[in-house]
Amino acid sequence: MRVTIFGTGYVGLVTGACLAETGNHVLCVDIDPTKVERLNRGEIPIYEPGLESIVKQSHAAGRLRFTTDLAEGVAHGLFQFICVGTPADEDGSADLNQVLSVARSIGEHMVEYRVVVDKSTVPVGTADRVKAEIEGVLNRRKVKIEYDVVSNPEFLKEGAAVEDFMKPERIVIGVNDPRTAALLRTLYEPFNRNRDRVIVMDPRSAEMTKYAANAMLAARITLMNEFANIAERVGADIEQVRVGIGSDPRIGYSFIYPGCGYGGSCFPKDVRALVASSNAVGYQPQLLSAVEVVNERQKEILFAKIERFFGGALRGKTIALWGLSFKPNTDDMREASSRVLMESLWAAGCKVRAYDPAALDEARRIYGKRADLTLCDSAEDALDGADALAIVTEWRQFRSPDFDLIKERLGSDAIFDGRNLYDPSLLKRHGLKYFAVGRGDSLAL
Ligand SMILES: NC(=O)c1ccc[n+]([C@@H]2O[C@H](COP(=O)([O-])OP(=O)(O)OC[C@H]3O[C@@H](n4cnc5c(N)ncnc54)[C@H](O)[C@@H]3O)[C@@H](O)[C@H]2O)c1
């Protein structure tokens, strides 16, 4: 089948590559010429395990192409996937400019039947707005062309995006016309083989499903963080509590890891957007608003601990930082806890020596050259001359480090662990001072 993808970010590039891998002819359109040039040279602009090889193979086979030409994109595919960004506007609502601009391009260049598939995360009612936008342009062109607009939210996780797309847990198709649903079922057939994962519903419910899923996960993490903050003050160990409650099948072990806050390109903006959508229809979602507030506060806890440990005398201190990306296996630093920590440390007069297995280039792009940031080539290198170590991303390679080396290099012997990676008694045996999240150590500070 012929497929056009608008937007070659995490969602668009993965969708395009996976659909091309299964034999479709895919044209990816992006308005960023640098990105398109890099992709055409065989360079992958993002870090995502398994992506590079499938992009290169399908590109070499001629089934996956990249262009900036919107008209060529509209002419190419029966399916027109919208995978552009929906960043938060100033009031927290989703900014639909990129989505509606693609809709207008489709309306301007369409000459025959098209299925417009919205994969971007968009507020309820956007499929109708996309339809209205296309309709407006067709009316101006004084032409009548058949098309349908489908909501097909994406549930892939950065860091496992290819795997998630290839073996999805569910494929939500929000559509009114059963013929269009059948077309999408055919397109998704290769990813739907051992059991039916397709869930067909109306477009508004599909749009809401994506926000509800992200808000549910964000709320679980946040509730756990709230428990951790209480545990810390009452002398309980949240890791033991986690094991204790996760064993209840109604609760389960997923998404109950306490830490220094969630980040990324989805949870923060999607929770905010759902709050904004609710407010716009006169409903105050108090629980969701609290999720947002508690998470923002959680991102500050590592700095607060470091500040307390040094008795407020932070000026001139050097902090080693392990992890910059918002989670492991990605280079994405959007809304990452590392950024809140680094910015607080800089404001207090500290220097940061940071290491991340994938996000060093991204950190360089965001912060440029600055005297108080050294981006290091290894985790050990980051420890050189550091007074303390802070860990904000649970990359696997940080799980079992050489504690003797850490002790030798750190001026204060203190580790501030925002992801509860270590056994406190083991670190004590190594002579390290260990401060994690919700493990009863606030009394020690
Ligand atoms: N990143 C994720 O893990 C994830 C998961 C599920 C859903 N989503 C949702 O998917 C959408 C895309 O997210 P992303 O992380 O891939 O975004 P991204 O910012 O990485 O990529 C968006 C791309 O769209 C391009 N673009 C903007 N306007 C365009 C236009 N008019 N025509 C063609 N290209 C255009 C941009 O240049 C950019 O390359 C968002 O709504 C997001 O919420 C993201």
Query: Pocket of ligand 1, candidates 4, 10, 68, 69: which has the most ligand atoms within 8 Å of its Cβ, to mutate?
Result: 10
Residues 410 and 389: beta-carbon distance below 8 Å: yes
Quick one: which atom of ligand 1 is closest to the CA of 6? 33
The answer to whether residue 266 is catalytic is yes
Minimal CA–CA distance to 358: which of 392, 389, 400, 328?
A: 328
Query: Nearest C-alpha to atom 33 of ligand 1 is from which residue?
Result: 30
Residues 255 and 217: beta-carbon distance below 8 Å: yes
Could you tell me the distance, in angstroms and rounded to a whole number, from the CA of residue 397 to the centre of ligand 1? 29
**Token output for 67:** 């262009």
Predicted confidence at residue 194, as pLDDT, reads 85
Minimal CA–CA distance to 359: which of 341, 378, 332, 338?
A: 332
Predicted confidence at residue 223, as pLDDT, reads 98
Quick one: which atom of ligand 1 is closest to the CA of 98? 28
Instruction: Quickly tell me which residue has 């342009």 as its tokens.
Output: 137
What's at 100, amino acid-wise?
L
Query: Nearest C-alpha to atom 11 of ligand 1 is from which residue?
Result: 120
Mean pLDDT for back-to-back runs of 10 residues, the chain (445 residues): 97 98 98 97 93 96 98 98 94 95 98 98 97 98 98 96 96 97 97 93 98 98 97 94 97 97 96 96 97 97 96 97 96 96 98 98 97 98 98 97 96 97 96 94 60
H or E segment to which residue 148 belongs: strand 147-151
Burial class of 14 by CB neighbour count within 10 A (0 to 12, 13 to 18, 19+): buried
Residues 163 and 50: beta-carbon distance below 8 Å: yes
Quick one: which atom of ligand 1 is closest to the CA of 265? 1
Residues 420 and 399: beta-carbon distance below 8 Å: no
Could you tell me the distance, in angstroms and rounded to a whole number, from the CA of residue 252 to the centre of ligand 1? 31
Query: Pocket of ligand 1, candidates 13, 72, 84: which has the most ligand atoms within 8 Å of its Cβ, to mutate?
Result: 84
Could you tell me the distance, in angstroms and rounded to a whole number, from the CA of residue 387 to the centre of ligand 1? 39
* Alpha-carbon span 333 to 337, nearest angstrom: 9
* Alpha-carbon span 368 to 376, nearest angstrom: 14
Query: Nearest C-alpha to atom 21 of ligand 1 is from which residue?
Result: 9
| pTM flag (> 0.85) | yes
Predicted confidence at residue 442, as pLDDT, reads 63
Catalytic residue among 18, 28, 83, 266: 266
The per-residue b/e assignment along 355-392, b for 16 or more CB within 10 angstroms, e otherwise, is bbbbbbebbeeebeeeeebbbbeebeebbeebbbbbbb
Quick one: which atom of ligand 1 is closest to the CA of 270? 43
Residues 209 and 201: beta-carbon distance below 8 Å: yes
Could you tell me the distance, in angstroms and rounded to a whole number, from the CA of residue 163 to the centre of ligand 1? 19
Rg (alpha carbons) of the chain, rounded to whole number: 24
* Alpha-carbon span 331 to 325, nearest angstrom: 5
Question: Ligand 1: which residues within 6 Å by Cβ?
Answer: 6-12, 29-32, 35, 83-86, 98, 101-102, 120-121, 154, 156, 158, 265-266
Query: Pocket of ligand 1, candidates 83, 130, 152: which has the most ligand atoms within 8 Å of its Cβ, to mutate?
Result: 83
Predicted confidence at residue 14, as pLDDT, reads 98
Query: Pocket of ligand 1, candidates 265, 274, 325, 333: which has the most ligand atoms within 8 Å of its Cβ, to mutate?
Result: 265
Could you tell me the distance, in angstroms and rounded to a whole number, from the CA of residue 291 to the centre of ligand 1? 24
Predicted confidence at residue 153, as pLDDT, reads 98
